[in-house]
Amino acid sequence: MQPRLLLYIILSVCFTAGSAAQKLSLEHFREIKIRNIGPAGMSGRITTIDVVNSQPHIIFVGTASGGVWRSTSGGTTWAPVFDGQPVQSIGALAINQRNPSEIWVGTGEGNPRNSHNSGEGIFRSLDGGKSWTRMGLENTRTIHRIILHRDNPDIIHVAALGSAWGPNEERGVFRSTDGGHSWEKVLYVNDSTGCADLVVDPANPNKLIAAMWDYGRKPWTFYSGGAGSGLYVTFDGGDSWTKRTSEDGLPSGNLGRMGLAIAPSSPNIVYALIEAKVNALYRSEDGGFKWKKVSDEDIGNRPFYYADIFVDPHNENRIYNLWSRLSRSEDGGKTFERIARGTHADHHAFWVHPDDPNYLIEGNDGGLNISRDGGET
């Protein structure tokens, strides 16, 4: 094309655009309201979900880099509720189901891939997410679980994974007995080992099981597993802990990340998804004392990035396994089938309604999905 002709075309386009701009006014757009119409509520990958059980249309989700979002319409519309806080990387959410206006948020994503963002402690809202107060644990860097005591709202347990980028002592299991005003570290291994998962027995709020994970990340590499990793059980709310080992049926050698789940309908049944020389699903039928390997097939591929499992509240043999796929077992983990095939890959968060196990919500790298038929659609 000749330079003179090209210049003519450019000037013509600029003149036309300028003339059109002179005819437009902001008044033309004043009444336009922008609304997200789908396909899902997204703000970075979803890391955690909690729902008001008595009002299941009220949903809170935390994201890896986009703060906390709330829906009061069952997931149709969403609003950010954490934007005024100094950190937007979220690792844990917990709603006080006896007083749903009380919401706890742990910051710092608990899935430490190379895009991991650290947090700045734990926050509490007493007005349903309208305002927030930081309640300490600023140096834990990553909080992956928050457990509110079933009977005493002043007792809170927190699983702190700690810094992914270097050693720090502010990691392990922390407990507050005064509503979060002060904290005590009740389980600690070393400055490179944090708590990757923490579950509580629904029949005994003083019994907790903790998965400790020795890990570390550099810009150029990552290690998962070491001498500090292990499975611990307490029966006194965290005052004392007992470590379970290969003598109890767990795999030998250094362990990596572990995901835990206690069956609400039968609390003696506990599942552990364990990263080891051979990654496998283990099951205990005596509350976590003795363990047996159930399966090492179709259970996951990158446990450092996703290692969460969930049990149906009414069926101890129905397990949901979150990894690059979302899979379900109906036989206690012996076999799994893939569900939610039309959803985005890489699943991190899950919620099952305690009274209606057909109502499921799952979060992944691409947003949020809701099922009302047990995961069939």
Is 313 among the domain residues?
Answer: yes
Residue 140 shares a structural domain with residue 252: no
pLDDT, position 121: 98
Is residue 186 domain-shared with residue 217, that is, in the same domain? yes
Which domain CATH number covers 266?
2.120.10.30
What 3-state DSSP class applies to 148? Answer: strand
174 belongs to a structural domain? yes
Strand partners, 272: 260, 282
Whether 64 maps to a domain, the answer reads no
Domain match, 91 and 191 both: yes
3-state secondary structure at position 377: coil
What DSSP letter does each residue of 15-82 carry, written as one string? HHHHHHHHH--GGGGTT-------S---SS-EEEEEE-TTSTT-EEEEESSS-EEEESSTTSS-EES-
On whether both 261 and 130 belong to a single domain, the answer is: no
The count of other CB atoms within 10 Å of the CB of residue 262 is 23
Do 311 and 183 belong together in one domain? Answer: no
Instruction: Give how many domains the chain has, as a whole number.
Output: 2
Same structural domain, 107 and 185: yes
How far CA 185 is from CA of 75, 173, 189, 209, 279, in Å, comes to 37, 6, 11, 15, 30
My answer on whether 298 and 168 are in the same domain is no
Residue 13, helix vs strand vs coil: helix
> b or e along 91-130 (b: 16 or more beta carbons within 10 Å of the residue's beta carbon)?
bbbbbbeeebebbbbbbbbbbbbeebbbbbbbbbbeebbe
Q: How far apart are the first and last CA of the chain?
A: 55
Does 182 share its domain with 94? yes
Last residue of a domain, one of 226, 243, 260: 243
Angle at 361 between CA 280 and CA 316, to 5 degrees: 45
**Same domain as 167, residue 177:** yes
Answer left, alpha or beta for residue 206, where phi above 0 means left and psi between -120 and 50 means alpha. Answer: alpha
Residue-level pLDDT at 11: 45
Burial pattern 351-361, b for ≥16 Cβ within 10 A else e, equals bbeeeebebbb
Q: How far apart are CA 258 and CA 211, in angstroms?
A: 6
Asked if the structure places residue 265 within a domain, the reply is: yes
Say if residue 369 is exposed, middle or buried (CB neighbours under 10 Å; 0-12, 13-18, 19+).
buried
Q: What is the mean pLDDT of each run of 10 residues along the chain (377 residues)?
A: 49 48 67 60 78 98 96 96 96 98 97 86 98 98 98 98 95 99 99 98 98 92 94 99 98 96 98 96 98 92 88 98 91 94 87 96 93 92
Give me the residue label for tokens 């003083």: 206
Based on the domain organization, do 90 and 207 belong to the same domain?
A: yes
Alpha carbon distance 294, 285 (integer Å) = 12
Q: Is 20 domain-assigned?
A: no
CB-based contact 120:86 (threshold 8 Å): yes
pLDDT at 17: 47
What predicted TM-score, i.e. pTM, was given to this entire model?
0.87
* Beta strands at 230-234 and 258-262: parallel, antiparallel or unpaired: unpaired
Does residue 220 sit in the same domain as residue 91? yes
State residue 293's pLDDT score: 98
CA distance 268 to 235: 13
The answer to whether residue 303 sits within a structural domain is: yes
Residue 232 structural domain: 85-243
| Domain membership flag for residue 70 | no
- Do 96 and 226 lie in a common domain? yes
- Please identify, among 224, 243, 262, the residue that sits at the C-terminal boundary of a domain: 243
